Structure 1
């Protein structure tokens, strides 16, 4: 029962943070459309999925903290999954600074949808905390 309540409260908190973040994103989108300054909006839409991915892994990490084991970091998982996911998640933000001359930047922009970069951000946030092992 204690574990159920822990996961239930974690789900409610993550859902609430997700709701607040989406509301803030809508306000940023409206403000950036009015001011023609998309930098803050793109920064938020890049960072928020990474934060949400970390939040999704956080309850399991909290449960692992209580174990009496040695801390390690899975560099192979972080490098093989995390680095490419981080690159795909950061392409919209990096493209503003350096243009679309980056590797696969044109292809990602031609997709015209933020689903891929959002998914990659969530994957990176999750993998980052999942690579920390006890």
Structure 2
């Protein structure tokens, strides 16, 4: 029992160390891209990174769930309701800066919540990116099937 607890402690501390390192390096790289965007007047790389980094970090936070799922037996399932209710809106809010900056021929006023998402800064995009990345592993489930249920399928 103590050995299992000690192993879990080291796994969690290792994962925490990886997350802290990724977070620090990501913030430093984002600062570099913002400085580069200011000097070259090319904000595309900075915008793409600011959209993708929170999603990647959310995936990193959800890795514990994936490890738990890999240890369980059963059939893989996707919770489509959770994915549609939480995933699609968070993906929309996360990707909205890309829609805005990459020159669609329509105004951002035409998008649902477009004006609010553009004028509210980066907070909604960052939070939604974290939610979407984290949710990717939380919509996946494993359902245990008994022998009789397997025969029916």
TM-score of the superposed pair, with normalisation by structure 1: 0.94
**Structure 2: gaps of 5 or more residues:** 1-5, 143-153
- Does 1:102 find its partner at 2:111? yes
SS at match of 2:75: coil
Residue 126 of structure 1 corresponds to which residue in structure 2?
Answer: 134
Match of 1:76 among 72, 77, 81: 81
For 2:74 and 2:10, locate their aligned partners in 1 and report how far apart those are by CA, in whole Å: 25
For 2:24 and 2:138, locate their aligned partners in 1 and report how far apart those are by CA, in whole Å: 24
For 2:12 and 2:85, locate their aligned partners in 1 and report how far apart those are by CA, in whole Å: 29
**Structure 1: gaps of 5 or more residues:** none
Moved over 4 A (4+): none
For 1:60 and 1:12, locate their aligned partners in 2 and report how far apart those are by CA, in whole Å: 17
State the shift of 1:42 in Å. 0.5
After superposition, the CA RMSD in angstroms is 1.1
Residue 114 of structure 1 corresponds to which residue in structure 2?
Answer: 122
**How many residues of Structure 1 are paired with residues of Structure 2 in the alignment?**
133
TM-score of the superposed pair, with normalisation by structure 2: 0.83
State the shift of 1:102 in Å. 2.0
- Does 1:10 find its partner at 2:15? yes
Structure with the greater alpha carbon radius of gyration: 2
